[in-house]
């Protein structure tokens, strides 16, 4: 077993980036392929547009995802994982494995 106390603050640092509700699910969707705001909103059925916008803005600011213009008139963007974001794949895979092993009966709600 690894000793997580060897590097104080590392888990906190990671949680500052991906610890908000919905963020890991947004990243999960972006590991498949780049997505538009509408595609993400449809995938995350109960997320509010305001919350989705805030989470995307935070992830862009942390350079975890990239916002790419794909249509100028009207401006349309898609979102894709950056190289830094792709490095989170192992973390997300481990979270998925753990979640599969210890499933909960209640889904996450937007609060």
Return the structure tokens found at 8. Answer: 């104080």
Tell me the torsion sign for CA atoms 95, 29, 89, 97: positive
Any bridge partners for residue 79, and if so which? Answer: 35, 67
What is the pTM for the complete model shown?
Answer: 0.81
d(CA 91, CA 97): 10
Residue 29: closest CA among 21, 19, 39 = 39
**Which pairs from 48-54 meet CB under 8 Å and 24+ separation?**
48/110, 51/21, 51/22, 51/110, 52/22, 52/26
Please compute the mean of the pLDDT values over residues 101-109 and round it to a whole number: 74
Average pLDDT, the chain: 88
Start-to-end C-alpha separation, the chain? 35
Helix (H) or strand (E) holding 47: none
pLDDT per residue as tens digits for the range 5-54: 557 678 888 888 888 889 999 999 999 999 999 999 999 989 999 999 99
Q: Domains in the chain, start-ordered, CATH in brackets?
A: 17-97 (1.10.10.10)
């Amino acid at each position: 077993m690894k000793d997580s106390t060897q590097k104080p603050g590392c888990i906190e640092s990671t949680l500052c980036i991906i610890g908000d509700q919905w963020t890991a699910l947004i990243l999960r969707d972006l590991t498949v392929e780049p997505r538009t705001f509408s595609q993400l909103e449809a995938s995350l059925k109960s997320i509010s547009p305001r919350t989705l916008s805030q989470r995307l803005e935070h992830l862009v600011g942390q350079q975890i995802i990239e916002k790419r213009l794909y249509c100028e008139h009207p401006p349309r963007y898609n979102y894709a994982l950056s190289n830094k974001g792709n490095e989170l794949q192992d973390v997300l895979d481990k979270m998925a494995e753990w979640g599969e092993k210890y499933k909960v009966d209640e889904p996450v709600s937007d609060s």
